[in-house]
Amino acid sequence: MVITVLSGGTGTPKLLQGLKRVVNNEKLSVIVNTGEDTWIGDLYLSPDVDTVLYTLADLINEDTWYGVKGDTFYTHEQLKNLGFDEVLKIGDKDRALKMHKTYYIRRGYKLSEIVDMEREALKIKAKVIPMTDDRVETKILANVDGKIDLLKFHDFWVKRKGDVDVLDVIYENCLYAKPCEKSLESLEKSDLVIIGPSNPITSIGPILSLKGIREILKDKKVVVVSPIVGNSAVSGPAGKLMKVKGYEVSIRGVYEFYKDIVDILVVDNTDKELAKELPCEVLITNTIMKTLEDKVRLAKNIIEFSGNL
C-alpha cells in the first residue's frame, strides 16, 4: 500500500508519529507546505519541511513543534547580544540544518534535492517532498494599526502572534509555480492520500493551489483529518483564517473547503451529531493526539477505516 500525506508543520506531524509506526515507511511519502518559507538575515528557513524531517527522525521538540529537542541556543543568544534579533528562536543543531539548505540553495540546487540529502542523512525511510521548488509565499493582508499591509506569514504568526485584523490570505506566485515532479509522481502512485489536521488555509491551501494537484486528488481515495473540533481549531490560527476566507469554523467548514476531493472526513467524537449532516463518509473517533498511543491509534483507525490495512 502506497500512502501520501499532505502536511503543514504542527497538526499533521503528530499524525505522522503514529503513521510511521503502523505503515511501511518506504511506501510513505509526505508532501510539505513551503508557503511559509522565508529568509532571516542570510539564513533560509523552510519551517514545515524541517518539522516533518525532525518528526520522522524522532528529533522534534514536542514542546514547540519546531526545532530539535534538547537543542542549545548559544548562537541565537550571541546574535542578540550583537544587536541582531532573529525573532524566531533558532537552536544550534536546527541552525546547522538551515545552514545546509542555505549553502546549497545559493549554489543553485533545487529545494527538493536538498531535502532529499537531509532525509538520507537523518536516515528517514519515508519520502519528504517540498510542494514546489519554486517560490510560493503565503501572505496575510491585514489592517495593522490602521494601515493596510501585506505581511509575510512569519511576520503575522511569529512576530505578531496573529494579533492583527486579517482581511485576506494570498498564495503569492501560486499560479506560476509548478509542483515538484516527485510530488505529482507520489500522488499518482498512491493508493491512499491523507490530508492531515493542519491549517486548511495556510498549510494545505498552498499545496492545493498548485496546478494539477487537485485534479489528481479527485481520482484518488482522500482522507481528511479535521483540525477543527467543535467551533475552534485544535491549535494555531486555523479558525481565524477560515472565517476570513468565508468558511464556518466547524467540521461543516472543513468539508466545504475540501468538498471536491474528500472521500472520508475524520472528525472528533465531540462532533458526532453534526457529522450526520455531512454528504461524505465520516470516521468518528478521538482526534486529539496527546500521547504516542493516541497518535498510533488514530493512524490505525484511519488505515483500517479506509480498507487498506
Residues 34-76 have pLDDT tens digits of 999 999 989 999 999 999 999 999 999 999 999 999 999 999 9
Cα 157 from Cα 154, distance rounded (Å): 5
What does the pLDDT look like over 254-306, one tens digit per residue? 999 999 999 999 999 999 999 999 999 999 999 999 999 999 999 999 999 99
The yes-or-no verdict on residue 120 having pLDDT over 60 is yes
**Res. 309: pLDDT tops 70:** no
Mean pLDDT of 230-251: 90
- 131-140, 159-168, 203-212: lowest mean pLDDT where? 159-168
User: Taking Cα atoms as reference points, which of 220, 232, 223, 242 lies closest to residue 271?
Assistant: 232
Distances (CA, A) of 279 to 251, 287, 298: 12, 20, 22
CA-wise closest residue to 213 among 193, 176, 187, 192: 187
Is the model's pTM score more than 0.75? Answer: yes
